[in-house]
Amino acid sequence: MINLRNDYSTLGHERVLKALLEHKDNVYLGYGLDSWSKKAEEKIKELLENKKVEVHFLMNGTGANMILLSHVLKPYHAVISADTGHIYVHETGAIEGSGHKILTCNNQEGKILPDQVEAICKAHTDEHMVKPKALYISNATETGSVYTLQELKALKKVCIKYDLYFYMDGARLGVALESCLNDIKWSDLCKLFDAFYIGGTKNGALLGEAMVLVNEDFKENFRYHIKNKGGMYAKGFVIGLEFYELFKDGLYMELAKESLESAKLLKDIMEEFGYYTFYPSSTNQLFYLVDKKEYEVFLENVSFELLGENEEGYLIRFVTSYASKKEEIEKMRRILEKIRR
C-alpha cells in the first residue's frame, strides 16, 4: 500500500523524536513557561523579523482556530470564510460551539476574494444581523491552492475598510510558503495578519501549532483564554522543544520541500497517464475525480481518502508529506498501468 492518506499519519520527524528522548530527564516549568518555549519563540520571531509578536504553543489546529477566534470576537461578531474553510466544514461546529456564526461564500479554487468579503460586509447592516468582525483564510487552502502576496494585500485592504481582523490558519503553512507559486516571505506575514498559526502537526511535529499574535489587542490575557477553552498543555515544553528543533536550522522548510517534491513526482506520474487534478494545487494535496473501476484499483493499492461520490465519479485525495518515500510513489506507475490495461 502506498500511503497517501494524509500528512499526519506518522508520529513525527526523527530529529523531533530524538530531541524529546534526549531531554527526558530535564526538569521544566509547566504550561509553556519553560526555556524551550522561550527559545522557540525567539527563533520564530527572528524568522518573522518581528520582535513584538507573541508566540503561544497550542495543541491542535481546531483548538487553535477556536481559541483565537473566541478570544477576539464578541458574542454578536461573526467570522467570514470560504465555504471550503476548515472552520466551516471540518471542525464539528467548534466555532459555533464557542458562540460565533461563520459567514460563507463560494470558494474560488479554495480561496475567498475581496469582493466576496465586501459583499458580505455590506449585507450586514444592523443589529438584527451578526456583525462581521474577522476574516479567516487558510494557506495553503483546503483544496491545495496558495494565496499570492497581491491577493493577500487586496484582502487586507478590505479588512481595514470594514474593520475586520485578518486571521490565517497555517495548518499547512510550510508547503504554502515553499510552493512554486508562492511569493510571500515569512517577513510579510506580520504585516498582513492580526494573528496566524504555524502548523506543526502536519509538518513533522508530534503535536502542536505555534499561534502568532500580532495585533496588540489580542495579547491581553490570552493565556487565561487558552486555559478557559481547555487548550492548555501541562508539558508545554514538549511543543517548545519540537518547534525549536523544527526552526533552529530550517528543518521545518526542509520537510515542506520534501513533501512538495513527492507531490510533484506524484502529480507528474498521474499526468503521464492522463490524470489531472480536480482542483488546481501547488501543494501536497492532490484531488482527482475517478471512475468506479479506477477507484477500486486505487482502493486495493493506495491508502487515501474518498471525499465524495456521485454520478460523475469518485472524488479522491492523495496527500504527501516529508515521510512519503519516493520509491513508493514511483510504484504508482504500476498501478496506473494496471488501470490502463
Q: Which of residues 275-334 bind a second copy (CB under 8 A)?
A: 303, 308, 323
Cα–Cα distance list, 68 to 79, 229, 278 (Å): 12, 10, 32
Piece in contact with a second copy (CB under 8 A), picked from 23-31, 49-57, 211-219, 274-282: 23-31
Q: Which of 115, 129, 249, 271 binds a second copy (CB under 8 A)?
A: 129
Q: What is the C-alpha separation between 262 and 284, in angstroms, rounded?
A: 8
Q: Which stretch binds a second copy (CB under 8 A): 16-24, 150-158, 186-194, 329-337?
A: 16-24
Instruction: Tell me whether residue 23 or residue 338 sits nearer to a second copy (CB atom).
Output: 23
Cα separation, 63 vs 60, in Å, equals: 5
CB of 271 to a second copy, least distance (A): 26
In whole angstroms, the minimum distance from the beta carbon of 139 to a second copy comes to 19
Name the E strands within 59-101.
77-82
Largest CA distance in the chain: 63
Using CB under 8 A as the binding rule, whether residue 250 contacts a second copy is answered as no
Query: Nearer Cβ to a second copy, position 63 or 282?
Result: 63
Q: Minimum CB separation from a second copy for residue 121, in Å? A: 14
Q: What's 131's DSSP letter?
A: E
Q: Three cell numbers at 161?
A: 475598510
Q: To 5 degrees, how large is the angle CA 127–CA 128–CA 131?
A: 55
Q: Which of residues 188-247 bind a second copy (CB under 8 A)?
A: 201-202, 206-207, 221, 223-235, 237-238, 241
Beta sheet of 305-310, edge-to-edge order: 285-290, 313-319, 305-310
Q: Scanning residues 69 to 98, which ones bind a second copy (CB under 8 A)?
A: 70-71, 74-76, 78, 89-94, 96-98
Q: What is the distance of C-alpha 100 from the center of its chain?
A: 21
User: Residue 230 or residue 250: which is nearer to a second copy going by CB?
Assistant: 230
In the range 53-72, which residues lie near a second copy by CB under 8 A? 59-63, 66-67, 70-71
Coil vs helix vs strand at 206: coil
Judged by CB under 8 A, which of 11, 106, 292, 330 binds a second copy? 11
Interface stretch with a second copy, choices 37-45, 120-128, 135-143, 252-260 (CB under 8 A): 120-128
Q: Binding of a second copy at residue 14 (CB under 8 A)? A: yes
Tell me how far apart the alpha carbons of residues 190 and 212 are, in angstroms, rounded to a whole number.
9
Q: With respect to a second copy, which residue has the nearer C-beta, 67 or 177? A: 67
Binding of residue 31 to a second copy (CB under 8 A)? yes
**Residue 17 vs 113, nearer CB to a second copy:** 17
Minimal distance in Å, beta carbon 122 to a second copy?
A: 9
Instruction: Identify any residues that bridge with 135 across adjacent strands, giving them in sequence order.
Output: 80, 166
Q: Is the peptide bond before 140 cis (omega within 30 degrees of 0)?
A: yes
Q: How far is CA 162 from CA 80, 124, 131, 136, in A?
A: 12, 11, 10, 14
Single out the residue of 223, 146, 226 nearest to residue 188, CA to CA: 146
Count the residues of the shown chain that bind a second copy, applying the rule CB under 8 A.
79
